[in-house]
Structure 1
Amino acid sequence: MNKAKFALLLTLILLFPMIISSGSAHIRPQQMAVTLPATSPVEKSAASKTFGIIYPMTYPTYEMITKDATEYAGKHNITLIVNAPDEANTEQQIRIMENMIKQHVDGIAISPVDAAALTPVIDAAQAAGIPVITFESDVPTSHRIAYVGADNYRTGQQFAMTTTRLLHNQGMILVENGLEEMQGLQQRLNGFIDYIRSETDIEILEVRYHQGNEDQAMSDMENMIQAHPHFNAIIGLDFVSVSASTLIWKAKGLNRHLIAFGDSPTSENGLLNGQLSAVISQNEEVWGTKMMETLLLASDGVPVKEFIDTGIIEINQEAIN
């Protein structure tokens, strides 16, 4: 073999491993991508989920909860479908939920207007393999897997204890509540009345329901104030009552106690401006995250706690400052 042929052969020998190596590096990932099982843990954890949230009605406080849920969803590859009747309406809630079942969402969170009416559709979702959780108001007789919120009877008792302290265990009060058929709000009212009647000398002059309508809430309170001018406090047990009552306090310049429900920009402003004496909250600002966390676990088949307790707190002007 002459020197030229020997040099050519030597070059080919040296280059051959590089060609194999380069070819293998290009082919192997393609093979892995083709043979990787579709149900592998890697793909499952990265798969997008779609969750639905159904509110009793459209209202600013629920926008805060949606914002919290949306921030969590954005970090966990979750698509949210958020819906609510324009005004509290059981039939619309049922239709919204039925549509979500038809869309085969991966989970639903609902604050039910009417527990008895929503039970069959909640059970239908569960039967279709869609985990359902409730928040704000529970439906324990249904097949829902969890409730996110606080004990509403105990929340009513906390309202009563705060009222008792502010009124020094005496006086006359007016009460405004939301949806008469909403189980959570009825439990809240029952806890409040039971404590006031058994533990205090306070007289409940009148209780009214605005049925989720802010204009009706304002009308109710104005009529109660006119009928009972010597009242000492108004108690608003739901989200809608707080905005209506602070508007009345601002317009009339009332120097009476006003106790409201729900930590929101409206209630915080009411405390700072001296219109509200106290706010009872179930830490609503974390509901969105807790709902998403629970649905994410449940949709992956992981057991969840039946009661995700967000607690009950009293907020006053000192706490806000």
Structure 2
Amino acid sequence: MKRLCFRHGLVLPVLLAAGILLSGCFHSGGVIDPPSQASGESRTSQNTGRQLTFGIIYPMVNATYEMVTEKAEAAAEDNNIQLLVQAPDEANLEQQIRFMELMIKRGVDGIAIAPVDPKALVSVINKAVSHGIPVVCFESDSPDSNRDAYIGADNRKTGTVIGQTVDRLLGGKGMILVGSGMPHMLGYGERLKGLQDYLAKHTEIDVLEIRHNDGNEDYSALQLEQMITDHPHFSALVNLDFVSSSSSVLVWKAKGLTRYNIALGFTPSLTQALDNGQITRIISQNEQNWGADIINTLLLRSSGIESPERIDTNITIIGESPLPTDRDHHG
């Protein structure tokens, strides 16, 4: 199977090898404009075995999203689905809007997007839906849009779980630094709010500084290094996004740090960093399940079959035993 990356605004299809199309209960969700001739597919009915085309739009290129793509490719191949994957090198609202417009023009059968700005993308998400194209958001939501479903964990609860994890590590006292991604991305704001609310209510832990990386790995590393320089007596670093998490591993290696480092997102590289001591805990939203959930949800929606509006992928802590049902709070 040939796999192509989407960068610098280029729109290139990932054409998956044909599998066996799901039969019987799946049917077309309506007639929309045909795709460009480049696809080579006509929109015939389900029982003639036409191939569906789904698009996935990421905020930026990142190892976690590469894992999601691999899982989505496997699920798509099983169902004879052509997959279009697009991601700018760095987080970019204008690029996400352009990717959406191109997919609408092509007439894809479904779109999954992790929106970098939930409000700015409402109109183009609604435009896709008005053209008969199901849209699902994943990782971060656009709740004011007409999107069909949201796939991912509860981000406010994720922030709370991160707060509980830091609480246990520091015994309810200490000073932390926080790295996050794009300030307008709803999921990141919800994680930060969940973290701050928990710490304020249940601990004496102080947040010394919060910095945003805007989805840029080089900038993220510089931001983390600057925070560490400005606050050398910090007790722990908390990362609320994938970019900060991966950048923190490089900073920990370069500086030989032994402070607590809490990462977000499950990838083999972060797991290796956990084994090597650069990461203390990983908070995962079970990202390894997003790809299959995206394909399955779009397959149902594009076939006119109802599916849950919210698919909660839950939260897993890697590096310690699961959270108890009831815990004692400090103070």
Equivalent position of 2:35 in the other structure = none
Structure 2: distance between partners of 1:84 and 1:40: 31
Runs of 4+ deviating beyond 3 Å: 38-42
Equivalent position of 1:26 in the other structure = none
What percentage of aligned pairs have identical amino acids?
52
Equivalent position of 1:42 in the other structure = 47
Equivalent position of 1:123 in the other structure = 126
Structure 2: distance between partners of 1:159 and 1:40: 47
Equivalent position of 1:136 in the other structure = 139
1:37-64 Cα shifts (integer Å, max 9, x gaps): x977633xx3210000000111121110
Equivalent position of 2:237 in the other structure = 234
The match for 2:271 among 268, 283, 292 is: 268
Give 1:127 deviation, angstroms: 0.3
Is contact 2:181-2:243 (8 Å) kept? yes
1:111-142 Cα shifts (integer Å, max 9, x gaps): 00111110000000000000000001001110
Instruction: Give TM-score, length-normalised by structure 1.
Output: 0.85
Instruction: Give TM-score, length-normalised by structure 2.
Output: 0.82
Equivalent position of 1:13 in the other structure = none
Is contact 1:49-1:106 (8 Å) kept? yes
Q: Sort the Cα spacing of 1:41 and 1:116 in 2 relative to 1 into closer, same or farther, 3 A.
A: closer
Q: Sort the Cα spacing of 1:197 and 1:71 in 2 relative to 1 into closer, same or farther, 3 A.
A: same
Amino acid of the structure 2 residue aligned with 1:194: D
Equivalent position of 2:55 in the other structure = 52
Give 1:220 deviation, angstroms: 1.0
Give 1:68 deviation, angstroms: 0.2
Amino acid of the structure 2 residue aligned with 1:162: T
Backbone CA RMSD of aligned residues = 1.4
Structure 2: distance between partners of 1:203 and 1:285: 33
Structure 2: distance between partners of 1:224 and 1:75: 46
Task: Tell me, yes or no, if structure 1 residue 259 matches structure 2 residue 262.
Answer: yes
Give the alignment of 1:73-152 within 5 angstroms: 73-152=76-155
Structure 2: distance between partners of 1:113 and 1:92: 10
Is contact 2:266-2:287 (8 Å) kept? yes
Which structure: greater helix fraction? 1
Is contact 1:272-1:317 (8 Å) kept? no
Amino acid of the structure 1 residue aligned with 2:268: P
Give 1:248 deviation, angstroms: 1.1
| 1:141 partner SS | coil
| 1:117 partner SS | coil
The unaligned stretches of length 5 or more in structure 1 are: 1-37
Is contact 1:271-1:317 (8 Å) kept? no
Amino acid of the structure 2 residue aligned with 1:264: T
Amino acid of the structure 2 residue aligned with 1:100: M
How many residues of Structure 1 are paired with residues of Structure 2 in the alignment?
A: 280
